[in-house]
A and B are shown apart, each in its own frame.
Chain A
Amino acid sequence: MKALVWQGTTDIRCESVPDPAIEHERDAIIKVTSCAICGSDLHLYDHFMPGMKAGDVMGHESMGEVVEVGAAARKSLKVGDRVVIPFTIICGECEQCRRGNFSVCETTNRNKHLADKAFGHTTAGLFGYTHLTGGYAGGQAEYLRVPFADTTHIKVPEGVPDEKLLFLSDIFPTGWQAAVQCDIQPTDTVAIWGCGPVGQMTVRSAVLLGAERVIAIDRLPERLSMAKAGGAITINFEEESVVERLNELTGGKGPEKCIDAVGLEAHATGSVDSIYDRAKQAMMLETDRPHVLREMMYVCRPAGVLSIPGVYGGLLDKIPLGAVMNKGLTIRTGQTHVNRWTDDLLNRVLENQIDPSFVITHTEPLGSGPEMYKTFRDKQDGCIKVVLKPAMNGALHG
């Protein structure tokens, strides 16, 4: 089959790889109808995340049709079922899964020893996301093997376009969890750093959850225009001071809830501290560029909440924990517990409360995937979200 394969830093290729096969009785194989490139795939493309090996198949946002089911997965799946695959592989049985903490499933990371060393304790296995999280082949491919398939799936109805459902795999529940864990009150101002795909979903989630005001921060006009369309007040950090503007909008008190939808690759020349971080990264003295964390720790209202869906990889420098401690801020973070939210979110899509397809700017055949990694990374062609179709020939734009 064809698949997008990581071959080194910024080197993704569409190559022929062996077809996946059932390896365990809880496995299923799906024929991928749509998959997407996620912002966190760019951390692998740029090789900021450790644990990639040449030949790894990329992708963790996929959906399709079940074509083969292992014996133990037949209790909940059958051939022909239409499913979205969450990026977290979950057993559904361990203590964490029973609590709904699916992204830290204790069972599914088959490289548990590596995660134990890196993070202290293992997290869930993830599709196409380094050997630290299991080294599972990803879903930017014609077919995908789904381990623990009896629990690792979201069944979706026929008759609804892929584009409305695909993002249940990651960015929609990620934006939702980012807003939910802020415990938004009707009087809250919610500030969201980053208007990429997760930031866009977070804006919509905060609006649905009833925030009084949602403020979105970015530098690219097309991303800000999309955030504004979703109900946000926008701040272009290249044109004005984020801290001054946020204080101005909140009567000098700062936003109650701050959300980091940027993560470890904050714009490298966007601020003095990011230039400092970039220099330290080049000398391997720091792994991430935490400009957004610093800014929201500083500007958040005392007793407020910091929500961090943005991905961080390792060791960070010059974090103003004094501000966090003295202001009594609460930090909530983590990979998304996808299946905790998807029943509810699927209903909201089916009830036309939200249509997540608004974020798609490029639809391309799988074979164009390598080009689209660079287009997405360098924010060319107005790119915000790329959907890839293994069965497609020509490209669709907008």
Chain B
Amino acid sequence: MDDVVRRTALPGRSQSPHDKLARGLGYFSIALGVAEMVAPKAICKAAGVEGIENVVRGYGAREIATGAAILTSHNPEPWIWTRVAGDLADIATIATGLRQDNNSKGRSALTLAALAAVTIVDLACANGLNSEKASRKTAARDYSGRSGFPQGLQAARGAARDFKVPDDMRTPELLRPWT
């Protein structure tokens, strides 16, 4: 059936290519975050923006937290979406370096191009992870012929009514009329 979510794990592994990509993005997040925390001035210079070292440090903390969440979570998808939101914040911040009076606006433009590329990767990963899960719209195998009762459903109804429920699992007599 075309609308059933196909298997996605890599052969012999319990993870899909998107799961692997998510882990890679997790490590990337932590590495970038550490760089932003340790050398914000150099990062600012490379990106063509200056005087926002404290903002960059804050972004570094965000990257480390997001990366750790991706690597420790069983479901990295929401954290990849967090990365996408972070990418947009980064883009908005670096875009301030494109103003005409900034002598380093060329570096800002290059940084924006790199950020756009990373955002595309993040989006692809988040969308890929999302599409791997069955939803009401996608999963549609029909098991309506599987009753599990070889003699039919009608014969099965109450067929074990004579089973004696153990005393420790019986409803007290006083409550029985009410249930």
Q: Is B8 an interface residue (CB 8 A)?
A: yes
Residues of A within 8 A of B134 (CB): 220, 378-380
Q: A73 CA to B77 CA in the complex, in Å?
A: 49
A9 touches B143 (CB 8 A): no
A208 touches B147 (CB 8 A): no
Q: A353 CA to B161 CA in the complex, in Å?
A: 13
Q: Is A242 an interface residue (CB 8 A)?
A: no
Q: Which of B51-59, B101-109, B116-124, B151-159 is near enough to bind chain A? A: B151-159
Q: Is A241 an interface residue (CB 8 A)?
A: no
Q: Which of A185, A225, A361, A372 contacts B144 (CB 8 A)?
A: A225
Binary interface encoding of chain A residues 137-175 relative to chain B, with 1 for a CB under 8 A from any of its CBs, else 0:
000000000000000000000000000000000000000
- Which residues of chain A (343-377) have a CB below 8 Å from chain B? 344, 348, 352-356, 358-359, 361, 367-368, 370-375
A374 touches B14 (CB 8 A): yes
A370 with B5, Cβ < 8 A, contacts A9-B72, A354-B156 known = no
Q: Is A319 an interface residue (CB 8 A)?
A: no
Binary interface encoding of chain A residues 215-228 relative to chain B, with 1 for a CB under 8 A from any of its CBs, else 0:
00001111101101
Residues of A within 8 A of B147 (CB): 229-231, 358
- Which residues of chain B (8-57) have a CB below 8 Å from chain A? 8-16, 19
Query: Chain B: residues with CB nearer than 8 A to chain A?
Result: 1, 4-16, 19, 69, 72-75, 132-134, 136, 139-151, 153, 156-161, 163, 165-166, 169-171, 175-176, 178-179
Some 5 contacts from A to B, beta carbons below 8 A apart, are A230-B146, A303-B179, A356-B148, A379-B133, A382-B140
Query: Chain A: residues with CB nearer than 8 A to chain B?
Result: 9-14, 45-48, 100, 180-181, 183, 185-186, 188, 200, 204-205, 207-210, 219-223, 225-226, 228-231, 236, 238-239, 256-257, 268, 282, 301-305, 328, 330, 332, 340, 344, 348, 352-356, 358-359, 361, 367-368, 370-375, 378-382, 384
